[in-house]
Amino acid sequence: MENRSSEISGFYKLSVDERLKILESFSDLSPEEIETLRMQGSLGTELADRLIENVVSTLELPVGIAPNFRINGKDYLIPMAIEEASVVAACSNAARIARVSGGFVSESTEPIMIGQIQIVKYDSLEKLKSTILEHETDIITLANTRSRTLSSLGAGAKGIEIRTLDDPQKSVVVHLLIDVRDAMGANVVNSMCETVAPYLEEITGCRTNLRILSNLTPHRVSRSRAIFKRDLIGGEAVVDNIISAYQMANVDPFRAATHNKGIMNGIDAVLLATLNDWRSAEANAHTYHVLTGNYSLTRFSKTPEGDLMGEIEIPIAVGTVGGSTNTVKKAAIYRKILGVENSREFANVLAAVGLAQNFAAVRALSSEGIQKGHMSLHARSLAASVGAEKEEIDLISDTMIKNGTISMSKARELLEDIRKRTNK
């Protein structure tokens, strides 16, 4: 074991079986563990090996459905892929409460993405800016040669912005503003940046460095709002507590990190189920506060009637065409279940899900505490993990919760006791 080396020449050229043999030796995996890795699920080895590099297996997550959602007058069933207990249930319950007041009202701006081209080593800043602006039409025309599809839709590159950074090189950054329609947009934005960069060098005599999209999308923002009836969420005290909790999150970065994580619990789960880029969504959401000055992505206030108004403003770049979303059959099916027709409708749904999940989390914190729901589901998960089945899971879970001891060892002890009494 001491002489193991991870330096493997041509690992990418090997078959999945050959890679598994290397893992078996390197990590001392048992035949049963290797056989578990061979279980590829519905994705299959061949497709998985085409999607990413050095594939050895796949990993499946539970996918649950959050019912009760009504958004802009339309009903939705929301597929959510997540390993964390209570998220799907909490989201569903929040949607049920909001539905009483008509559900969620969402809106999204035009799907404008930003492509960044970094310019360094210039002499005169004013001359550089004026030269770029003089050639703006040519820059946009050149960028649009990279996508006939977008051009035919009246979309594509629409304009430019010029920014100066306070980095050691005093970089100038040219932003291409690109309408990507129903795509997330990464590939076409990157292609446009790489096409335009040599032209910028030609007209300015300067050197370009980075040429890539930004995952921060201040022009591509979604908003959603809903009213949660006071009598359905615990009364006036709970309404006041939720507002107080939001106010804390809006000024305290330590609380905001957890507050906004609750939003992304919901959004990421939908993005995972439909195989959209949840890492991009995370980076986008958590950087947005730099522009707005608000740590919290949600706002809660009291209506004149004393009910709770919840609102969210969040940048969302999501696609309904391109990427892996149509390549993987289950992802395509989950998107069909979701029933969105374009990227803006998809973003509207995600904003509503984020608001619902955040409301549910803050409500739990402001009333009975977050652990009550978490521990109930955690107890069931522990019971299942030690081999309990059907009625055994309920009995073990209920006993652990009643006794206030929720652990793997306790679940195993209770299971052994049950099976001794039933002679299993």
Task: State pLDDT tens for residues 156-177.
Answer: 999 999 999 999 999 999 999 9
Same domain, 95 and 239: yes
- In a domain, residue 241? The reply is yes
Residue 340 and residue 227 in one domain: yes
As a whole number, mean pLDDT of residues 257-266 equals 97
Domain match, 84 and 100 both: yes
Pairing of strands 172-179, 221-228: unpaired
Q: What was the pLDDT predicted at 241?
A: 96
Residue 1 located in a structural domain: no
Band of residue 10 on the pLDDT scale cut at 50, 70, 90: very high
pLDDT over 80 at 424, yes or no: no
- Predicted confidence at residue 333, as pLDDT, reads 95
Q: Mean pLDDT score of the chain, rounded to an integer?
A: 93
pLDDT at 146: 96
Does residue 169 sit in the same domain as residue 290?
A: no
pLDDT digits (tens, 9 = 90+) for 178-212: 999 999 999 999 999 999 999 999 999 999 999 99
Counted domains in the chain: 4
The pLDDT of 385-407, averaged and rounded, is 86
Catalytic residue among 277, 313, 345, 392: 277
* 197 and 284 co-located in one domain: no
Residue at which a domain ends, from 367, 399, 414: 367
Whether residue 278 sits in one domain with residue 324: yes
- pLDDT at residue 19, rounded to an integer: 97
DSSP 147: -
In a domain, 4, yes or no: no
Banded pLDDT at 41 (limits 50, 70, 90): confident
Domain identity same for 330 and 255: yes
Q: Are residues 95 and 71 in the same domain?
A: yes
Write down which residue in 328, 343, 367 finishes a domain: 367
Q: Could you tell me what percent of the chain has a pLDDT over 70?
A: 96
Last residue in a domain, options 214, 233, 255 = 214
Residues 82, 148, single domain; the answer is: no
| Choice among 261, 289, 302, 330 that is catalytic | 261
Residue 127 known to be catalytic: no
* Within-domain flag for 173: yes
CA 113 to chain centre: 17
Q: Which residue has the higher pLDDT, 373 or 141?
A: 141
**Selection from 183, 102, 99, 109 nearest residue 146 by Cα:** 183
| Higher per-residue pLDDT: 259 or 389 | 259
Residues 142 and 156 in one domain: yes
CATH number, domain with residue 97: 3.90.770.10
In this prediction, residue 380 carries a pLDDT of: 78
For residue 404, tell me if it sits in a domain.
yes
Is the domain of 340 the same as that of 246? yes
Percent of the chain surpassing pLDDT 90: 80
In this structure, the answer to whether residues 235 and 332 fall within a common structural domain is: yes
CA–CA gap between residue 211 and residue 209 (Å, rounded): 6
Q: Dihedral angle at the C-alpha atoms of 342, 345, 350, 352, nearest 10 degrees?
A: -170
Evaluate whether residue 88 is within a structural domain.
Answer: yes
Average pLDDT over residues 133-151: 96
Amino acid at 31: P
Q: Are 299 and 246 in contact (CB under 8 A)?
A: yes
The pLDDT value given to residue 53: 96
219 is catalytic: no
* Residue of 33, 374, 398, 413 with catalytic role: 374
Cα separation values, 43 from 47, 55, 250, 297, 319, Å? 6, 12, 41, 35, 21
Q: Which domain holds residue 175?
A: 112-214
Residue 116 lies in a domain: yes
CATH code at position 142: 3.30.70.420
Residue 225 lies in a domain: yes
Active site annotation includes 277: yes
Tens digit of each residue's pLDDT (9 = 90 or more) over 82-107? 998 889 999 999 999 999 999 999 99
DSSP states of 42-70: TT-HHHHHHHSSS--------EEEEEEEE
Q: From the candidates 35, 75, 84, 138, give the one annotated as an active-site residue.
A: 84
